[in-house]
């Protein structure tokens, strides 16, 4: 399956769409390029300490989105 290319802002928007029904809808998410269109999602350490399930949720969403999207180089 071909992956679609998306900007970091589009990926952040997709994360917030998926987080909307969770306990952390306003979590800070950053998308970081790791080469060849691959990317990783980062969250604030303070938020991870206050919400331990946030890291697990972000990893789950990241797996879903990385299977479908590549990071578009700007």
Averages of pLDDT over runs of 10 residues in the chain (74 residues) are 92 93 85 92 90 90 96 85
pLDDT of amino acid 51 = 86
By CB neighbour count within 10 A (0-12 exposed, 13-18 middle, 19+ buried), where does 49 fall? Answer: exposed
pLDDT of amino acid 36 = 87
Rounded CA separation 39/62 (Å): 9
């Amino acid at each position: 399956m071909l992956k679609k290319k998306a900007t970091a802002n589009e990926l952040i928007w997709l994360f917030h769409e998926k987080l909307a029904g969770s306990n952390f809808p306003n979590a800070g998410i950053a998308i970081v390029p790791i080469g060849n269109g691959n990317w990783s999602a980062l969250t604030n350490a303070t938020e991870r300490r206050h919400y331990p399930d946030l890291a697990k949720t972000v990893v789950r969403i990241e797996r879903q989105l990385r299977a479908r999207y590549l990071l578009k180089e700007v």
